[in-house]
A and B are shown apart, each in its own frame.
Chain A
């Protein structure tokens, strides 16, 4: 099983490696814009929770970026492979377990999410942010990547067109990227919205990253919620892969 996971990842890495330079360059654009607009522009005028706004939003940007990267790194290619190229059949007719395929794809998503997160961490240092990156920070970041890579897989197996995939981005990921404690503290949201936002995984990723980034331990509840979401999506993904047969 481990060998099969490695095969799945090997293929994706081969494809990514071929355009790694371009990939990294393209990953720099939106974080730079966020950092300029919110870090320099807006951030020079406000303070949040006793620190600079730049330090406040860098973990938020990391959370939302790793979400979008990992989700799309798995969602788009798996969806295309299932609906258009049919390359997924190569894995289905091979004597490997469905679980190996799903985990392999998730690992590929984590790799892409982590690379682009690294790009942002380096950029934010260049913009003068102070951030401690170790232990908990990496754990939460990887968990966030894994969770949304798994969700990307689930969506790819569920959505029956490229358009539906785009809708998933529009109606689910984009709202989360704005609401989930990424750019502001959720404390002052109206209470119904506050509760809604509290059940979304990205909120916990943002909060946990923010605490870890400021050298504090994140709440175990947040980590537990992220882990719970991850395992749920993983199980759904495996189940979908097993019953893909028409």
Chain B
């Protein structure tokens, strides 16, 4: 669905994306993981043609970007990282504006607005100004807006940043249900749990470079499925094992108290980049 080859992006002499190659398949939820400043937003902005790229090739549904911008635009829905609803318009009017900008005929547009407001549970707030909404409501309205023109691919840039745990789970359910209906989703996050909960495949981006790509299980296996964790005077230590028995032998060889658990994506991240995701 999306093919990215050797994508480069420079701002001045600062390289923000460094030869990123990636392919996103139809129907999957693909997660782009990485700490702040890794280049996730920049990648999404390039894919949505809000930013240009300095090198490399991108095709979306076999259409060249940016040459076939118009055609590509109608395939894409985008929920940016920052809230960018029109605060001077109501929820309904925000969707109406989007529908008009995407040339949806009136009958269909009106019907779609009702349908989507229902879907994101904002029907009763349709006539309220978007500026009066809470963070979670704004994010849901932005998702509804991005879906107005029935895109084939949805970009979600850090969709749950700053939301309460319950609100976040509701959004996860929403994203999963969209995916079940056949929508391809590319989401960025620096919450490991989010990637684990939603994504069929993930890629780790660090300082503009793709470190690894695969299913969460693949990535765990790469460093070893079993994690042994223990505390020393200078902090928590880990070691990873592919075979459980080896992990147990190792635990017995230490004389401090240890824990054995399954490796998670956070471990993968720390192991591969030498950094915490959120630092």
Contact = CB atoms under 8 A, between A and B. Distances in A.
Contact of B49 (A11, A96, A245): A245
Interface string A6-23: 010011001100000000
Interface string B240-257: 000000000000000000
Nearest to A96: B101
Nearest to A243: B52
A85 interface: yes
Of all A-B residue pairs in the complex, the 8 with the closest CB atoms, nearest first, are A94-B101, A86-B84, A7-B100, A95-B73, A245-B52, A15-B88, A95-B70, A246-B51
Interface of B: 11, 45, 48-52, 69-70, 73-74, 76, 78, 80, 82, 84-89, 93, 97-98, 100-103
B84 A89 contact: yes
Given A86-B80, A87-B84, A89-B80, A3 B49 contact: no
A83 to B, nearest CB: 12
16 contacts: A10-B97, A11-B86, A86-B80, A86-B84, A87-B86, A89-B50, A92-B49, A94-B73, A94-B98, A94-B102, A95-B69, A95-B73, A95-B101, A96-B101, A245-B52, A246-B11
A85 B84 contact: yes
Interface residues of A, number: 20
B84 A93 contact: no
A91 interface: yes
DSSP majority for the B interface? loop
B150 to A, nearest CB: 13
A75 B48 CA distance: 26
Contacts of A10: 97, 100
B100 A93 contact: no
A198 interface: no
A90 B82 contact: no
A6 B232 CA distance: 67
B196 to A, nearest CB: 29
Contacts of A92: 49-50
B73 A90 contact: no
